[in-house]
């Protein structure tokens, strides 16, 4: 039995199950948040955020996220070249973690959201459990992509020794952060209950 | 105001899975147990071990560690006979100085302000419930917590520190400061604190009565 069929919805903030007035919107008697049968405009909002993230993904990878200025020489690193540097100079396990967090995760996350949106819109009855699990993973791992931004911030804070060496954050860092934040909001605005809604019931 | 669904003479909770909308009647959980959705496997409700006291102890420890982590030097870098000391706030300050205030704000929120607010709000709610204090803003603090959680990135920041270490390893000497030790301890304590905290159970204690 699903809550929707009984006109019930649980509050997104506190979890209280409640009977919604006709129209499907109201306020939670326990925490005061607004409660909806489904997140309002879920599909449209997710699409908008996802497409913006995809556009920002280009400058995020094309522009340098940081530059090392040493004895008058400047060397710039993008997200990808930073990972390659780690593979060449650093240790493998760490390079692999950073590759997953900053290259694979953002890319797969956007593809996963795209897949979830398209299957919900085409009312696909297939693999509901797997799609719900996919959504759960997307929600969970997105934040790890911020690691590169923290690295840049820490390096810029530490390496600021006048003419010997200075590390400057690059514009790519802003675009990359935008990708991470936009996809986090996109995942939050997607309503996984939509995956289960078209069961031949309405 | 909506009508809450009430159960007659029963200690069990009626819940709808927030991922697939399946209705569940959940009997009282023994401490340390988690109820999961039988259709999609999502977590429905947890009853953490140790009750409020354990959560209060862990969040108090986390607060002290967060203050320590911000009070002392975090890392020191030596290069060409000169040294540069940075603290936790140095990471976001360097972005601000480089003309990226928006990025500085994101780093500040995820590494300092977010964790701080999360710990303080959690303690406020926990203490109000434990000591049965009628203080204002308990419901507000508790509803902030659920929105704040994804923006607290202490663990990700720690991975960033590791990567920075490796990247600078062959160009300079790095020294670990007092704050970094406090920070590492904070990661562990914060994880334990999160698992000792189930907002839904705290909401159940607060009940549906609400003043406007
Ligand atoms: Zn509520
Ligand atoms: Zn479920």
Contact B123, B145 (CB under 8 A): no
Q: Which residues pair with A169 in a beta bridge?
A: A66
Question: Hey, CA dihedral for B85, B86, B87, B93, is it positive or negative?
Answer: positive
pLDDT at A201 over 50: no
How much is the pLDDT for B12? 75
Closest CA to B124 of B111, B146, B140: B140
pLDDT tens for each residue of B75-109: 888 877 788 888 889 889 989 988 899 999 999 99
Give residue A131's pLDDT band: very low, low, confident or very high (50, 70, 90): very high
Average of per-residue pLDDT across A98-123: 93
Instruction: Give the mutation candidate from B88, B94, B142, B158 for the A interface (greatest A CB count, under 10 A).
Output: B94
- Classified as helix, coil or strand, A72 is coil
Average of per-residue pLDDT across B20-25: 92
- Residue where the block lists tokens 């308990």: B138
CB contact under 8 A, A29 and B4: yes
CB contact under 8 A, A90 and B166: yes
Contact B179, B69 (CB under 8 A): yes
The alpha carbon of A113 and the centre of ligand 1 are apart by a number of angstroms equal to 27
B150 contacts in A (CB within 8 Å)?
143, 184, 188
The token duo for A172 is 């790519």
The alpha carbon of B113 and the centre of ligand 2 are apart by a number of angstroms equal to 33
Give residue A166's pLDDT band: very low, low, confident or very high (50, 70, 90): confident
Q: CA nearest A4 in B: which residue?
A: B21
Q: Which residues pair with B77 in a beta bridge?
A: B84, B174
In whole angstroms, what is the distance from residue B112 CA to residue B69 CA? 10
Contact A157, B91 (CB under 8 A): yes
How much is the pLDDT for B7? 56
* CA distances, B179 to each of B67, B71, B85, B87, B120 (Å): 9, 7, 12, 8, 20
B200 contacts in A (CB within 8 Å)?
14-15
In whole angstroms, what is the distance from residue B150 CA to residue B106 CA? 13
The model's pTM: 0.90
Q: Which residues pair with A67 in a beta bridge?
A: A76, A168
pLDDT at A155 over 70: yes
How much is the pLDDT for B156? 94
How much is the pLDDT for A199? 63
In whole angstroms, what is the distance from residue B84 CA to residue A161 CA? 7
pLDDT tens for each residue of B102-159: 999 999 999 999 999 999 999 999 999 999 988 899 999 999 998 899 999 999 999 9
How much is the pLDDT for B9? 45
- Classified as helix, coil or strand, A16 is coil
Three-state SS for chain B is: CCEECCCCCCCCEEEECCCCCEEEEECCCCCCEEEECCCCCCEEEEECCCHHHHHHHHHHHHHHHHHHHHHCCCEEEEECCEEEEECCCHHHHHHHHCCCHHHHHHHHHHHHHHHHHHHHHHHHHHHHHHCCCCCCCHHHHHHHHHHHHHHCCHHHHHHHHHHHHHHHHCCCEEEECHHHHHHHHHHHHHHHHHHCCCHHHHHHHHCCCCCC
Q: CA nearest B147 in A: which residue?
A: A13
Instruction: Give the mutation candidate from A30, A95, A131, A186 for the B interface (greatest B CB count, under 10 A).
Output: A30
CB contact under 8 A, A33 and B143: yes
- Residue where the block lists tokens 């986090």: A184
pLDDT at A35 over 60: yes
pLDDT tens for each residue of A14-24: 989 988 888 77
Give residue A1's pLDDT band: very low, low, confident or very high (50, 70, 90): confident
pLDDT tens for each residue of B55-82: 999 999 999 999 999 998 888 888 777 8
The token duo for A110 is 């956007």
- Quote the mean pLDDT of chain A: 89
How much is the pLDDT for A98? 86
How much is the pLDDT for A202? 39
Complex ipTM: 0.90
pLDDT tens for each residue of B154-185: 999 999 998 888 888 777 888 888 999 999 99
pLDDT at B187 over 50: yes
- Residue where the block lists tokens 């604190």: B193
Q: Which of A30-34, A181-185, B41-45 has the highest mean pLDDT?
A: A181-185
Residue A15 Cα to chain centre, angstroms:
23
In whole angstroms, what is the distance from residue A164 CA to residue A5 CA? 68
Give the domain ranges of chain B: 9-47, 51-211
Instruction: Give the mutation candidate from A27, A158, A195 for the B interface (greatest B CB count, under 10 A).
Output: A158
CB contact under 8 A, A153 and B91: yes
To the nearest whole angstrom, how far is the Cα of A110 from the nearest Cα of chain B?
18
Average of per-residue pLDDT across A27-43: 90
The alpha carbon of B43 and the centre of ligand 1 are apart by a number of angstroms equal to 18
């Amino acid at each position: 039995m699903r809550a929707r069929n009984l006109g019930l919805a649980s509050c997104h903030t506190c979890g209280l199950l409640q009977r919604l007035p006709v129209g499907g919107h109201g306020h939670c008697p326990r925490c005061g948040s607004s409660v909806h049968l489904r997140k309002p405009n879920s599909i449209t909002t997710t699409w908008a955020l996802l497409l913006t993230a995809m556009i920002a993904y280009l400058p995020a990878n094309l522009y340098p996220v940081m530059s090392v200025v040493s004895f008058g020489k400047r060397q710039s690193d993008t997200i990808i070249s930073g990972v390659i540097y780690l593979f060449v100079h650093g240790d493998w396990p760490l390079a692999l973690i950073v590759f997953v967090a900053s290259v694979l995760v953002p890319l797969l996350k956007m593809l996963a959201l795209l897949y979830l949106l398209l299957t919900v819109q085409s009312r696909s009855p297939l693999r509901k459990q797997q799609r719900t699990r996919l959504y759960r993973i997307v929600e969970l791992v997105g934040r790890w992509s911020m690691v590169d931004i923290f690295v840049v911030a820490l390096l810029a804070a530490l390496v600021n020794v006048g003419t010997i060496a200075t590390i400057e954050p690059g514009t790519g860092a802003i675009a990359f952060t935008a990708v991470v934040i936009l996809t986090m909001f996109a995942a939050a605005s997607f309503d996984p209950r939509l995956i289960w809604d078209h069961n031949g019931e309405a | 105001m909506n009508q809450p669904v009430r159960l007659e003479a029963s200690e069990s909770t009626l819940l709808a899975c927030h991922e697939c909308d399946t209705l569940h009647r959940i009997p009282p959980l023994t401490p340390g147990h988690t109820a999961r959705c039988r259709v999609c496997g999502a977590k429905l409700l947890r009853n953490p071990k140790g009750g409020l006291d354990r959560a209060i102890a862990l969040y108090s420890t986390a607060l002290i560690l967060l203050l320590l982590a911000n009070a002392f030097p975090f890392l020191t870098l030596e290069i060409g006979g000169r040294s540069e000391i940075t603290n936790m706030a140095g990471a976001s300050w360097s972005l601000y100085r480089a003309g990226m205030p928006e990025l500085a704000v994101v780093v500040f929120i995820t590494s300092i302000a977010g964790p701080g607010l999360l710990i303080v709000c959690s303690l406020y709610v926990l203490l109000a419930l434990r000591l049965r204090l009628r203080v204002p803003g308990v419901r507000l603090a508790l509803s902030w917590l659920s929105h704040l959680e994804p923006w607290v990135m202490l663990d990700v920041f720690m991975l960033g520190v590791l990567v920075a270490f490796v990247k600078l390893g062959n160009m300079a000497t790095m020294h670990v400061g007092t704050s970094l030790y406090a920070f590492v301890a904070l990661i562990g304590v914060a994880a334990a604190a999160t698992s000792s905290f189930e907002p839904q159970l705290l909401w159940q204690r607060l009940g549906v009565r609400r003043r406007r």
